[in-house]
Structure 1
């Protein structure tokens, strides 16, 4: 099974545990939440918890993979609905902006996890690193269609804009942050589109 494939027919208890953990880990942090709290709120037995997740780390990894699936679905939707070079990137940026303005927004789940798991050898840190590499690869691929020569730095610029907006959205007016983020992405895409147009007319 690849990391983008969901578990086959998960049980109701597993789904309940994962939904509970996803909500609490995102809103309150990972280290601050114990297994007993998750078991109590998910209304399962301790034996049921450990049957599905042998350790808390296994549950944390499942939580991050669940968030990855949501991001992956968002990207797939943008790719399916938009055909021009810039439109998928604008759609992804729009989805990010809406997320920042959504009730209960607490920043990027992966950046939050990185702050709690700085050890690069820890499986949780490796999971979030894999997610960020996937996102970078995806944005780079899309930027290649806008202007191939500058795709790599443009993709990194896009992600820096995204990361900054995700952090600022928790600390400032989320509407203003979202608008600023979108203007930054639009400017980035305009510059690279103009480069491509200039080169194609030579």
Structure 2
């Protein structure tokens, strides 16, 4: 791909990221993204032949960012599984109470893309599986029993914490409640 096309693709993805998160995936038209990115329809469709292609690219980008942060923190805190889980709880609390927060982009996407055949639905499901696997590995490091069950419970607590932030809890309250609930599940 020529380097002159990279900024165009990034502009389109940036516009999609802003609008999809703020307004919802289904609510944002290709025409709106074309105008916001400042590209022609031909250019837009050269990069993303269908809206589903753009949705998949948007979600893939979000997943990559999330997984990179988690992976980097696990490397930084290697051998401190509780530290990683506390960091995650604090991060969820901060994110869930940040200005402009409109819920978890993955949960939002799953609600809009309910068909299991949609490529975006599969990306969201795969990301959830990845995150639950990370939790299970951390719980295994802690010597917790029933790691798969407890990893799923942590995921459900995370989802609830994101909703709590959406309805107005402070970052400290969300993080503290998530941490306390997580400790009750795993004893860490």
Q: Structures share a fold, TM > 0.5? A: yes
Is the contact made by 2:96 and 2:164 (CA closer than 8 Å) also made in structure 1? no
Deviations 1:30-80 (A, max 9, x none): 111000000001111111101110111100001101110121122112112
For 2:25, what is the secondary structure of its paired residue? coil
Q: Give the corresponding residue for 2:177.
A: 180
Contact preservation (8 Å) 1:85, 1:146: yes
> Using CA pairs below 8 Å that are at least 6 residues apart, which structure has the higher relative contact order?
2
Which residue matches 1:62? Answer: 57
* Per-residue deviation, residues 91-147 of structure 1 (Å, max 9, x unmatched): 222222221122211111111011111111222211211111111111111111112
Cross-structure match for 2:77: 82
Partner of 2:94: 98
Deviation at 1:8, TM superposition (A): 10
Distance in 2 of aligned mates of 1:186 and 1:142: 13
Q: Confirm whether residue 153 of structure 1 aligns to residue 156 of structure 2.
A: no
2:38 to 43, 59, 75: 43
Separation in 1, partners of 2:117, 2:168: 33
More displaced stretch, 38-47 vs 118-127: 118-127
Aligned residue runs from structure 1 range 90-129, under 5 A: 90-129=86-125
Contact 1:100 1:178 in 2 (8 A): no
Give TM-score, length-normalised by structure 2: 0.90
How many pairs does the alignment contain?
A: 185
CA contact (8 A) 2:81 2:141 kept: yes
Question: In the alignment, is the contact (CA less than 8 A) between 1:27 and 1:106 conserved in 2?
Answer: yes
Q: 1:95 to 1:77 in 2, by over 3 A?
A: farther
- Consecutive unaligned residues of structure 2, counting only runs of 5 or more, are none
